[in-house]
Structure 1
């Protein structure tokens, strides 16, 4: 670890002390801990947002049947995921200005900020590094639109794709895209189809990207640390079973979703010209691999769909650790 820290030192290295190296390493440790605690609730929520309404109906589509949908997704931020407590004992470099412990927002929280202060000794002086804790999105719910399309293939198989443009949030953005395959199962059970019952299985992949403002410091010694933004990059593999019952033009559907998500993080921002030769963000990004994680979620989904001509109106709710709702207008040829 000391060798790692020494690589950060600039052309003042000859005059810089062992204390400098320790200060730099302690700073990086604190940045890593804060990054994990701040953004993890948001990446967990991103998985729920990407999971909804891949399957609009388990019914079998005919060959080359095509559908295109406009979805409006609403994710409700639970109170328990909006803030967390920090104490001076959590840090090896920083101290909370004016107190020993305080609640601060996660990326899903409000815009409350406090100052964190630390000092890096350059061999001669203690140089203050003073930052504000990052703000959350300060939104009770996150609403974003996306497009989804489907195409019927052979043997009751259907390919599905979804895409959202980069949706701007308060102090952040969110984007998702992906694709998958649905296969109708009830075609093998004629008695089910005779009762207007349908079953299907689905497997898919989605990529979610969610970014927020993070740490910045403007001081005489450190013009910028390059940690102004933190991004969660999520790769989700999803598997689900769906069943539905039709009554005329109305269809009710229930689904059981299981997904596995690999979550990575990176920081970015303007590179300053502080007393490090190499931007701090490069070393933080290297060390962020220490907090990469894999999440497994089991989610229940309920929905209802009504047909009028070639159009369908559908509402759905996904339930699990979080609550996510979805409303869509669908057109099928």
Structure 2
């Protein structure tokens, strides 16, 4: 056999071996990548589960904060009459909504380090933290659970104004600047229409009793620090969790006046649409996979609509053209509001 034939045979064997190794390596890489993507899927499922339980108490509370204090008076407003108020809202965080139980049985990717289950804080909870661990492509992912606002009461200020229109109707607007909370922020704004009803009653009706109805819309935006996950594939971009809430409400209030004091009783019914998304900066893992967009698309599964029936009681006292009003809203939660108003 000639030398060239021998070399050709050897080269064919080398090529076959190289090709075989490439096939094995490629299959191994494909298998490894498939496993990594599967693990990322499990991680996303855990993030959805945790974020829902973490933020839901705060979004439920936000509806109460936005819904109370709209009706400053049940009296008929005259055309062009303007009321401007500065409000301080104080929400009392119930103990039952400050924590939830996290268990290893709930997770697909993570496990609680050193424990099977723990009481972890919601967005309205304390600043206790626990380590969650998982494995992503053979590399450990270890993070601290997110903290809550760590406050028993949540305070935010806002401005409200009303202008009297024709036929005993009043247009109302409410606006709060973005209020910084510990580990998050909150903002609400909206508009409403109030219409006086006792103007249609008999002339013999008690003139110290007033009845008005209100329809209003408010927008509540919340955002909380979530978790900053570091992995061998980069940061994941889920360090900020936000919620956008659209609330539509109707209410009716009856008031009784005595000299400079007006006492109001009201009932509120509202419907709120809740939407969630991770609204922080995208992580460096985006070079491999558009993780935040995928996760936010999955977050649409958490969207929900809720209904609330809320009672309201308030007292308003006049001195000259100024008014001081305190309002208590109650139902699942308790929310208080104090307002200083001026009419001109």
User: Counterpart in 1 of 2:3?
Assistant: none
What is the rounded CA distance, in whole Å, between the counterparts of 2:190 and 2:250 in structure 1?
13
Using the TM superposition, give the Cα deviation of residue 120 of structure 1 relative to its aligned residue in structure 2, in angstroms.
1.7
User: Counterpart in 1 of 2:250?
Assistant: 239
What is the rounded CA distance, in whole Å, between the counterparts of 2:64 and 2:294 in structure 1?
31
Change (3 A) 1:30 1:276: farther
Q: Secondary structure at the match of 1:198?
A: strand
Contact 2:262–2:316, Cα closer than 8 Å, also in 1 = yes
Aligned-CA RMSD value: 1.5
Contact 2:285–2:291, Cα closer than 8 Å, also in 1 = no
Q: Deviations over 1:227-272 (max 9, x none)?
A: 0010111000010000000000001000000000000001132333
Contact 2:126–2:150, Cα closer than 8 Å, also in 1 = yes
1:174-323 paired onto structure 2 within 5 Å:
174-191=186-203, 194-219=206-231, 221-274=232-285, 277-323=288-334
* 5+ long unaligned stretches in structure 2: 1-27
Change (3 A) 1:106 1:91: same
What is the rounded CA distance, in whole Å, between the counterparts of 2:148 and 2:233 in structure 1?
25
Using the TM superposition, give the Cα deviation of residue 130 of structure 1 relative to its aligned residue in structure 2, in angstroms.
1.4
What is the rounded CA distance, in whole Å, between the counterparts of 1:158 and 1:270 in structure 2?
42
Q: Secondary structure at the match of 1:22?
A: helix
What is the rounded CA distance, in whole Å, between the counterparts of 1:263 and 1:206 in structure 2?
12
Q: Secondary structure at the match of 1:16?
A: helix
1:145-164 paired onto structure 2 within 5 Å:
145-164=157-176
Q: Secondary structure at the match of 1:55?
A: coil
User: Counterpart in 2 of 1:76?
Assistant: 92
Q: Secondary structure at the match of 1:285?
A: helix
Matched, 1:106 2:122: yes
User: Counterpart in 1 of 2:23?
Assistant: none
Using the TM superposition, give the Cα deviation of residue 74 of structure 1 relative to its aligned residue in structure 2, in angstroms.
0.3
User: Counterpart in 1 of 2:79?
Assistant: 63
TM-score scaled by structure 2?
A: 0.89
Contact 1:231–1:265, Cα closer than 8 Å, also in 2 = yes
What is the rounded CA distance, in whole Å, between the counterparts of 1:215 and 1:327 in structure 2?
35
TM-score scaled by structure 1?
A: 0.92
Q: Deviations over 1:33-87 (max 9, x none)?
A: 0010000000000000001110100100110111100010000000000001111
User: Counterpart in 1 of 2:25?
Assistant: none
Matched, 1:142 2:158: no
Question: In terms of mean alpha carbon deviation, does 181-190 or 13-22 score higher?
Answer: 13-22
What is the rounded CA distance, in whole Å, between the counterparts of 2:86 and 2:66 in structure 1?
14
Using the TM superposition, give the Cα deviation of residue 224 of structure 1 relative to its aligned residue in structure 2, in angstroms.
1.5
Q: Which structure has the larger Rg over C-alpha atoms?
A: 2
What is the rounded CA distance, in whole Å, between the counterparts of 2:99 and 2:309 in structure 1?
24
What is the rounded CA distance, in whole Å, between the counterparts of 2:309 and 2:194 in structure 1?
19
Using the TM superposition, give the Cα deviation of residue 193 of structure 1 relative to its aligned residue in structure 2, in angstroms.
5.4
Aligned residues: 317
Q: Secondary structure at the match of 1:93?
A: coil
What is the rounded CA distance, in whole Å, between the counterparts of 1:199 and 1:174 in structure 2?
33
